[in-house]
Amino acid sequence: MFSVMPSTQHMDLAQTMEMVQFMEMGQPMEMAQTMEMVQFMEMGQPMEMVQPMEMVQPMERVQLMEMGQHMEMVQPMEMVQPMEMVQPLEMMQPMERVQPMEMVQPLEMMQPLEIGQAMEMVQPMEMVQPMEMVQPMEMVQPLDMVQPLDMVQPLEIVQPVDIVQPVETVTARLVDEEIWRKLDLLGTEMIVTKKGRNIFPKLDYRVEGLEDDGYYKMSLSVIRADTHRYKYLSGEWSACGNGEARNPQREVMHPEGVKKGKDWAASIVSFAKVKITNNVADSNAMNIVLQSMHRYIPVLQVTRVFDLSGEHVSEIHQFQLEFTSFYAVTAYQNQEVTNEKVKENKYAKGFRRNGKNRLDSSPEEPQTKQWCPPTQQIVEISAPLTVQNQLGFAPEQGTAWQFKWNMKDLVIQLRGWGLFYASKGHGMLRLWIGSRPIIVVIRPELAKIVLESSELITKGPEYNVLIPWLGTGLLISSGEKWRHRRKVLTPSFHFNILSSFQPVFDYQAKILLEQLLPMAEGNIFFDVFPYVKRCALDIICETTMGWAVGAQTNHSHPYVLAVREMNSLAFKHERMPWLKVNMIRQVCRNGFKFVCSYLSGFQSDFNKNLKIVREFTDNVIKARMEEHQKYGHHTDGKRAFLDLLLEMNEENLFSYEDIREEVDTFMFAGHDTTAAALGWALWCLAHNPNCQMMIRKELDDLFDGSLRECTSDDLKRMRYLEKCVKEALRIRPSVPNFARFVEKDFCLDGHIIPKGASIIVSPQMIHCNSKVHENVDVFDPERFSEENSSKRHPYAYIPFSAGPRNCIGQKFAIQEVKTVLSWIFRYFEVSAEIDFFDNLPLPEVIVRPEHGFPLKLHKRNELELPKSAN
């Protein structure tokens, strides 16, 4: 990092130099001239003014180096006598020694160095400070030109320019400087709290002297002003010993990211939303952690960069205004400071006794939201381009109108956007659905902030389409309702209860084998997905509702078909926001069938399938309630999830509507998602026969060819199979996204996400992020060995979400998937018809395969398949 030098310092180069060839960045500079002396500079020393130079013709241009670039040196060289010849040098090799060379032709021009490129020189130096200004050179006497040198690459010829531009002089001043200076005379104090408190007076800056078309980013840090700890004694602050160990310094980036100088200069650079806290565990990127009873000072950093990516720094300017130093306190010590702040701060209503100037606004809320204007609520017709610049960060991609209509093309488009920005190191991707911004998180560090935040508990509006089906059960509810439901339902997934479900898993898995056997004997490729979906439905019905529906023997079960259709409709509805416009809905309701079918056919299809699902659930609940009333609890010795809900109903904790919400939620979440996990695991293993072989060996060692059922202990010993299941869920997570609704402005990675936006954590994009996982498209179960798992970020693998709203049934799902797969691989080998990547994952509510799962099963041996019926 460099600081800009005063303009009084110059650079001293050797006198009577015959010619200097300048080369592109990273290439050494070959010299073939008579040099009388080169000044060596110690690190950080400025270069003296350039001395006059004799030339035949006036130089037409001198290109200046960008601020902050340094020059590398090659080998040290003492004063050199005239030379007859220069030996050619290999590119990037230092020049050891130079042979004499005759001077024959006049030098016509000096080749300039491209802006932003480093220059290697003969003399060694460790660092060079940038120059404020270069004095023009006098043209005095002719200088003969040397013969050109052999180069590995030609020099780039740059056309001369008329004048030398001086390097910019950047200044910064505070808008509220007068208030800061008043408080400084009293000894400014700032309150630090666990929650965080805004800094007052505000840190609003005017930055001037920026190059109009140059790119800059702004940041703020607060550093210790000295090494002391302080006490307030006898009306003044006094040092009372050495300060405590410093907290790691946090630099808060301005959320508007990288902008041109003219854009920064046109408005106030505001850090009004920065808060100071004494909570060392605070992870909010907009909060700065300070220690009470220490003295601090804010530092504004203006960083010039080469482009909008902000990755390559050209120069840095730091502004540390002495009158802004303050003492961090948990309560004001100096009453005069309190009085002055109350007088100047209209939000300090809590200190005013008479209430004259009280406001309805929160004392922590800034007067204006300069970073992100309030979201406009679009009720009728959306206007996606009117708020295009509401979020001040890049990258941005797409509106609904840019989305591909074909599902396959859309998957490729979204994956391409995500992988492109992930490869550039970005953590977020911005999309637009109508007028609503969607922030897609593609980095595990940011996923952790979102999923663990107590402010982002509410599910996004992306789930609203499911409310007519699932109600506001555990999956969709928020606030106190969600907290109550989660607390009450968590015991239902205790280990002992899950163990009691194991016989159901075994029984339904054996029925699945009976259904698969005829297809295996036919030696044909067939779609396995409908089979595993029916198996998963039978399992969830029996474990959730205590009711066997026999979906595996009834291949056209209406519930299975209805759930699949509703999944597809929900995703279609979300990516076509015009379907939500009331005017279009009204037209559809008034009987324009063609418009309804083309624009919205959604509602009628959804209602038709919803009726099927509702009737199925209601019938099962009513039948179970009748059993309870007639025979009492646990008549068959098995305790289902519905039994627990019915007991809560009897205790007036749950109404009938509450029961139906949770049953529908668990039927959906425990059926379709688990079936997808089973199908994708089979698809992955069909393309990896070596992994199948290791699974079979593990199972053969465990069961030794017997027909016995799995136990909970057996499942624990299926370690390699579990690694394969986890790797399949990494490559193809059943649920592609987890959405959260932003109820109030939220800071993420230095950007303010405005109220009304949605933040989507995407397991699909995080799991295939090459910055997170190596060889992302390779199926490698050993990623989940204990050693490799311990090295991985905990949020780099989140197929079941994470944080307080993680999947309550994830252990249930893993137990079910392992049980069913163990039965399949005990008796069959599996192969695939098409290439793995030709079967794209279509991101509906779950990740559905484009072509199903076309597999062929080969019976391993002549062992008789187990019978499902006793």
Structure token pair of residue 627: 């059993």
Q: What pLDDT does 400 receive?
A: 56
pLDDT of 649 reads 73
Using CA atoms, how far apart are residues 680 and 687, in angstroms rounded to an integer? 11
Contact 622, 656 (CB under 8 A): no
Contact 413, 460 (CB under 8 A): no
Residue tagged 């897609």 (tokens): 440
Residue length of the chain: 870
Say what the pLDDT of residue 49 is. 41
Strands (E), 330-456: 428-433, 436-441
What is residue 532's predicted lDDT score, i.e. its pLDDT?
Answer: 94
Domains and CATH numbers, the chain: 1-167 (no CATH), 171-351 (2.60.40.820), 388-456+736-798 (3.30.43.20), 468-735+799-859 (1.10.630.10)
Please identify every stretch of the chain with a pLDDT value under 70, giving residue numbers as ranges: 1-168, 346-403, 405-407, 434, 567-568, 570-603, 632-638, 862-870
Residue the block writes with tokens 């030109």: 145
What secondary structure does DSSP assign to 801-834, as a single string? --GGGS-TTHHHHHHHHHHHHHHHHHHEEEEESS
> For residue range 529-550, what is the model confidence (pLDDT) as tens digits?
999 999 998 999 888 888 777 8
Note the pTM of the prediction, 2 decimals: 0.55
Q: What is the 3-state secondary structure (H, E, C) of 216-229?
A: EEEEEEEEECCCEE
CA 295 vs. chain centroid, Å, equals: 35
User: What pLDDT does 864 receive?
Assistant: 66
Residue 807 among known ligand-binding residues: yes
Angle between helices 602-631 and 641-650 (to 10 degrees): 70
> How far apart, in Å, do the first and last CA atoms of the chain sit?
77
Kindly state the tokens that stand for 137. Answer: 């050179």
Given a contact cutoff of 8 angstroms between Cβ atoms, the answer to whether 401 and 578 are in contact is: no
> Structure tokens of 668?
């959906």
C-alpha dihedral, 651 to 652 to 656 to 658, nearest 10°: -100
Nearest to 645 by CA among 633, 632, 659, 655: 659
Query: Distance between CA 232 and CA 656 in Å, rounded?
Result: 63
Which distant-in-sequence residues (6+ apart) come within 8 Å of 637 by Cβ? Answer: none
CA 468, CA 603: separation in Å to the nearest integer?
A: 11
- Tell me the Ramachandran region of residue 508: left when phi exceeds 0, alpha when psi lies from -120 to 50, beta otherwise: alpha
CA distances from 251 to 73, 198, 239, 302, 323 (A): 33, 16, 27, 12, 21
Distance CA 35, CA 534 (A): 87
Q: State the pairing for strand pair 120-121/72-73.
A: parallel
- Which residues are registered as beta bridge partners of 854? 527
For residues 529 and 527, give the distance between their C-alpha atoms in angstroms, rounded to a whole number.
6
Instruction: Determine the pLDDT at residue 211.
Output: 92
- Neighbour count for residue 825 (Cβ, 10 Å): 22
Burial class (CB in 10 A: 0-12, 13-18, 19+), 419: middle
Cα gap 738→805, rounded to integer Å: 10
Encode pLDDT of 679-693 as tens digits: 999 999 999 999 999
Question: What pLDDT was estimated at residue 94?
Answer: 44
Are 772 and 766 in contact, with CB atoms under 8 Å apart?
yes
pLDDT digits 0-9 by tens, 813-840: 999 999 999 999 999 999 998 899 889 8
